[in-house]
Amino acid sequence: MKYSFLVAVLCSIGGWQQVTAQTTKTQALEQGILREGLALYESERASWIATDLLMARQPDMTGVVGYLSYADQDSVSTIFLHQASDKQALAVKYGFTFARTSILPATSRNISARPASAREERLFAMRLLVMDELRSHKLLKSAYGFPENTRPNVVILDDNQGARAYILTGTQEEGILPIGNDFLMSFTSAGKLSKVERLHNSYIPMRLPEGDQTIEAGMHSHLSAHPYITPTDICSLLLYQNAFPAKQHLVMSNEYVSIFDLPKRQLAFLTRKAFDKIYKDQQKRHPSSE
């Protein structure tokens, strides 16, 4: 099916809400997933830009034990932490901060060297717990596997919903949109890991078709355990949009269809029944689109 044709039709008739009979619960779910996905994207985008900026300076990385990215109101910061020995306190050796609406090299501001804050120490301790779980898989009960030419990217979010960590699979290949092989780790209020949830059952390295074809929409499917698009999907779609420049992306499950508009950063859910009906009606009106 030419889902890109349907997406174009949906966008052209005056907005997402006109084609979705939404309940308050559905709207809240949409906005919650979108907000979480954008927060993941902002954190990872800041990590990417800050790392590039730092490496361009050929810095002295002696004693640097890791990095963190975290949001603080309207800004997002990436810090590189230094610890001379296990007994010494953590310190920020390098860092950059960005406005959340403009995470670009030109808009970065330097963070001066200073002692790490209590929040930064807490977040870094959580990151260490995540890295230990990836090595030991005590909670998952099976090894975390990452395909060749990929690596795990850890993003910790900490807000009024509590602290949680997402593990995304990042690719080291050009022209790839990495989807799947991702996890959500939950922390207790005391900052201990308590649960690991696998968000996709497999890894999907999406590529553009060869030749001069253009693509309006991408698509992948979910099982019933996760019938909607995930925050990790939204994050990856935005991070790798240069490699896979589709304007919309559809996530299909037996019950629902999630439609994410990348340029507008809008998300809508349809029931699968409503989606199939709209599609069939449009095919009757425009049979040449098949």
What is the C-alpha end-to-end distance of the chain, expressed in Å? 7
What's the pLDDT score for residue 22? 59
Find how far residue 104's CA is from the centre of its chain: 18
The two beta strands, 150-159 and 114-115, are unpaired
HSE-up of residue 87 (Cα within 13 Å, Cβ side): 0
Mean pLDDT of 229-251: 95
Q: Quick one: average pLDDT of 100-128?
A: 96
C-alpha triplet 235, 202, 66: angle, nearest 5°? 50
pLDDT for 14: 38
Q: What pLDDT is attached to residue 84?
A: 85
Residue 81 in this model has a pLDDT that exceeds 80: yes
User: pLDDT at position 248, please?
Assistant: 93
Which regions of the chain does DSSP assign to beta strands (E)? 64-72, 75-82, 91-99, 109-110, 114-115, 150-159, 162-171, 177-180, 183-187, 193-198, 203-206, 217-221, 248-252, 256-261, 266-271
Checking if the pLDDT of 1 tops 50, the result is no
pLDDT the model gives residue 27: 86
Task: Report the amino acid identity of residue 77.
Answer: S
Task: Give me the sign of the Cα torsion angle 52, 58, 59, 62.
Answer: positive
Please tell me the predicted confidence (pLDDT) of residue 5: 52
Is the per-residue pLDDT at 290 higher than 70?
no
Task: Give the pLDDT confidence of 31-71 residue by residue, as tens digits.
Answer: 999 999 999 999 999 999 999 999 999 999 999 999 999 99
Q: What is the mean pLDDT of residues 224-243?
A: 95
Q: How confident is the model over 181-219, as pLDDT tens digits?
A: 999 999 999 999 999 999 999 999 999 887 767 788 899
Coil/strand/helix, residue 51: helix
Residue-level pLDDT at 41:
98
CA distance 257 to 270: 5
